[in-house]
């Protein structure tokens, strides 16, 4: 395993109690960082933090609530002294249905968590990075945001929005030593699969040339590197984690 240097840094990781978020937290702690696990499920976040050790700290956060996100960002800055890194990993798949049959309430929930949630987190955390003149942000998009998936229109639309938002933010903060990038994973081997029908899971697997789903440790490796000082030039960019599926 490659060694990264995050000594003395503080990372906020949304959706940090499980899945890709937890894997990133483990990798960042191994790299010397303190991590703030933000999750809607505070009890699970506390359980994860206890398992990860003294460098992990649990916070209950609903990323849909801008005021709550801003308040917790202030708490992290006070509790841990600073915020150097944001990994915006919280997200949901939503139900599988065609766009014409999609429940508008389900559409709104997917957009609120996957896209507005990342807007809220970036809006709340970036001022602390601007003040210090340094920061690293990685937003978790999806290959669906590039290529679309049938029967998952809101998910694809929300992740396409994450890509556009990331490119905008990266350009807005490019002269401040704040790198803002996103990754586009194919389907990962996480509990998000529980939200999908077996038919849709089979469809997603059939689209990946490597013939398997992404492992969270593979995602954590790329994401953690993007959050290091070594990533000193690249910003407003999209990094492929699709197992060969991406066509652009």
Predicted confidence (pLDDT) per residue in 1-48, tens digit = 888 999 999 999 999 999 999 999 999 999 999 999 999 999 999 999
Sign of the CA dihedral 118, 123, 128, 129? positive
Beta 135-140 vs 85-88: how paired, if at all?
parallel
Looking at residues 111-127, what average pLDDT do you find?
98
User: Residue 240: which of 181, 177, 157 has the closest Cα?
Assistant: 181
Catalytic residue among 4, 59, 128, 155: 155
d(CA 120, CA 224): 22
d(CA 1, CA 27): 10
HSE-CB of 119 using CA atoms within 13 angstroms:
15
Question: In the annotation, is 59 catalytic?
Answer: no
pLDDT at 60 over 80: yes
Question: What pLDDT was estimated at residue 58?
Answer: 98
Looking at residues 97-114, what average pLDDT do you find?
98
Domain ranges of the chain: 10-241
Looking at residues 131-153, what average pLDDT do you find?
96
Question: What pLDDT was estimated at residue 199?
Answer: 86
Question: What pLDDT was estimated at residue 2?
Answer: 87
Question: What pLDDT was estimated at residue 191?
Answer: 74
Binned at pLDDT 50, 70 and 90, residue 113 comes out as: very high
The 10 Å CB-count burial string (b at 16+, else e) for 167-180 is bebbeebeeeebbb
Protein fold of 10-241: Rossmann fold (3.40.50)
Binned at pLDDT 50, 70 and 90, residue 110 comes out as: very high
**Separation of first and last alpha carbons in the chain:** 29
User: Residue 7: which of 44, 25, 33, 35 has the closest Cα?
Assistant: 33
Question: What pLDDT was estimated at residue 160?
Answer: 98
Q: How do residues 158-217 score in pLDDT, each as one tens digit?
A: 999 999 999 999 999 999 999 999 999 998 877 777 777 888 888 889 999 999 999 999
E strands along the chain, which residues? Answer: 10-14, 34-39, 56-60, 85-88, 135-140, 178-185, 238-241
Question: What pLDDT was estimated at residue 201?
Answer: 85
What mean pLDDT is reported for the chain?
95
Radius of gyration (C-alpha) of the chain in whole angstroms: 17
Task: Judge contact between 243 and 222, C-beta under 8 A.
Answer: no
User: Residue 179: which of 190, 193, 167, 189 has the closest Cα?
Assistant: 167
d(CA 59, CA 138): 19
């Amino acid at each position: 395993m490659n060694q990264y240097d995050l000594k003395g840094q503080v990372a906020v990781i949304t959706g940090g109690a499980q899945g890709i978020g937890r894997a990133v937290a483990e990798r960042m702690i191994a790299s010397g960082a303190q991590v703030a696990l933000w999750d809607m499920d505070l009890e699970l976040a506390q359980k994860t933090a206890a398992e990860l050790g003294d460098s992990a700290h649990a916070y209950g956060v609903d990323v849909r609530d801008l005021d709550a996100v801003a308040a917790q960002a202030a708490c992290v800055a006070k509790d841990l002294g600073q915020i150097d890194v944001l990994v915006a990993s919280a997200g949901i798949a939503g139900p599988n249905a065609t766009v014409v049959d999609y429940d508008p309430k389900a559409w709104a929930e997917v957009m609120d968590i996957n896209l507005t949630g990342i807007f809220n987190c970036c809006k709340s955390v970036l001022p602390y990075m601007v003040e210090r003149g340094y920061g690293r942000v990685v937003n978790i998009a999806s290959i669906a945001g590039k290529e679309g998936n049938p029967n998952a229109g809101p998910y694809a639309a929300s992740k396409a929005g994450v890509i556009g938002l990331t490119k905008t933010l990266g350009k807005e903060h490019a002269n401040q030593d704040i790198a803002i990038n996103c990754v586009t994973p194919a389907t990962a081997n996480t509990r998000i699969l529980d939200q999908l029908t077996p038919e849709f899971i089979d469809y997603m697997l059939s689209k990946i040339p490597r013939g398997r789903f992404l492992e969270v440790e593979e995602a954590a490796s790329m994401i953690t590197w993007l959050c290091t000082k070594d990533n000193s030039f690249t910003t407003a960019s999209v990094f492929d984690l699709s197992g060969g599926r991406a066509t652009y």
